[in-house]
Structure 1
Amino acid sequence: MSFKLTKEQRDIKKAARKFAEGEFPDRALEFDRQETFDLDLWRKACEFGFVGVFIDEEYGGAGMGFFEHSLITEEFWAADPGIGQAIMSASFGAELLLLFGSEEQKQAILPDLVEGKAMIGTAITEPNAGSDPASATTKAVRDGDSWVINGNKMFITNGSTAKNLVVFCQTDPENSSRHKQHSFILVPTEAPGLEADKIHGKMGIRASDTSEISLSNVRVPLENLVGKEGKGFSQLMEFFNRTRPHVCAQGVGLAQAALEESIRHVKERYQFGKPLASFQSIQFKIAEMATLVRAARNLYYEAAWTVDKGKPDHALIAMAKWYAGEIAVRCADEAVQMHGGYGFIDETKVNRLYRAAKVLEIYEGTKEMEKTIISRSLLQS
């Protein structure tokens, strides 16, 4: 197996870093403190072709893979997690349409996403249904030629900014199998009865829109069903196989940034008449961080590779997702420690990295759920 990126992949990674380092730093603190984001920055990223690279060319995308999507994500998160999330999560849900959507749904939504005209989102989590999505109770009931949807969704990325949400709904609550009760339905956010309330006070990634969604008698056409009725849970698992390597890349990008910020700081900061970099305890921290980052990167490279080869390895993806989150938290913690009091102030980048890291062990599958997936694959084989 070759671990060397192709020239095209190296060029993509280099271009993503150049764009992010040129555009993000001047506004990162502003967006973090004000919990806001300038959509013109997302549109500019779309113009450069960074959004939706995994979308087929016939829908305006670059026709690349989730690996290339992850490479861009890594560089964007290394520059700033909040802005990186705000831009790269704009396509969160496009994976479902590519996998299971009708041709009409793809043509109606994907080109606008790639061109920077409209974001998409996916509404899965509920106030009482997080790690157990099969317990989701948002209901969609047939009424003539429409679905009528009622329920609440929590922690929804792009909930207040997306033009459309792919909503995980219970369409067959009486089915004896709890894994066959749900379906995905495409819901325009402008539909009467849908309300989005932006969540404030997040620990990190504050530039990214996270909202609570309320659906009260929201009516959409029957043809807004994404894929087959009753297949929502299995579709969700396939969806996560595509999106979790993306989360791994977030963790690796954050950890890489923590490492680079730490190296810069310990070379410049003097104590006892010597640079911090001259102390063995600091050298060991740097060595450990670099090793953790390399290991996590190799894991997510392989995980994303299996996805693009059409053979997603569920256990491997879970390993990569769990480990990337863990090393992000650890590296961010060490970075703050090496920065001392400066790391405790929100003006420093490592402070934002530290606050953003924890979410990587929570969303799109907690670290406990990822370990459960790994252990089951080993013990049931």
Structure 2
Amino acid sequence: MTQTPRLQITNLRRSFDGRAVVDDVSLSVMPGQVTCLLGPSGCGKSTTLRMIAGVEMQDSGAIYVDGKLVCDTVFRVPPEARSIGLMFQDFALFPHLDVARNVAFGLHGPRAETQARVAALLDRVGMTRHMNAYPHQLSGGEQQRVALARALAPRPRIMLMDEPFSGLDDRLRDDIRDETLEVLKDEGTAVLLVTHEPGEAMRMADEIALMRDGKIVQQGAPYNIYNTPTDKQAAAFFSDINVISGVVHGALIQTPFGQFLAPGVADDTAVDIVTRPQHLKIDFDRDGRGPNPTIAEGTPARGIVERARFMGSESLVEFRMDYDGSRLKAVVPSVFLPQVGTPLWIMIRRDRCFVFPKS
């Protein structure tokens, strides 16, 4: 039996001053699933979230919760009746209410039940001892925990989160994200998270919808999105990339690193071969050649170290390549930090390369 999506949006569109900010966006989120809308600033992520929440009206398209229509261009359930919780970057706590009353805000029913729900949530997020404190007396991480408890108090079916962790310092952020995810999973809430940080999306999401210019350009599990990008821009959004240009002849691309396969690509097509810095390998063999270079292993090409930076667990080495003066980056273990001006030979892992027609 097919499970009904907790949240489903179909063909949402929204334009401002004649420009499509959200352009034919469709996606679904299952109960207990975390889906991330990932993309650069201005790509339409937050506008999509506001339409789902009901604070922004779409030009076309429909929104469903548990299979029931909540909004199209004719019918509209008010925001407060959609069973949708909201969490934002600024936490939006009421400064004149203490922690317990912030969490209780919006709850209805017998006082004893309300107090029990507040107490249970504050215990769940580790804020019981701060229940009588006011927001200005709390740290950023503590305010985030209170905001989570308040958003969960009415037992929403869906949680919308718009950059909720960006105001926290780096060391605290990972812990808060993990704690928040655990609580949301325990509650069985469907989560739609907006962020511009690929690391956050991969850490939290079961599924990522990558947005660009108002459209979802790729959607899938984090592993698949990262390892099978749909185009060069998608690959570059998740990390630095190296790009080597070439032309296809007989399903092969001739490069200074040897031949690359391009099955199904027409002859004379100009292409970019894209690879990530961690997939460049330094060949320490003195004459710059492996024992038997093949099409799978590739051929080493020589570059001169232009910069080497220690990054903690790894080093980032930038090369100026002999063959055309282009620059490539390699990520290597931090124990290796070559001097500027050192000539080194580089190989590229064929199984970690992507070939895209030049746009």
Q: TM-score range by the shorter chain?
A: under 0.3
Normalization by structure 2: what TM-score?
0.26
Query: Which structure has the highest strand share of the two?
Result: 2
Normalization by structure 1: what TM-score?
0.25
Query: Which structure has the highest helix share of the two?
Result: 1
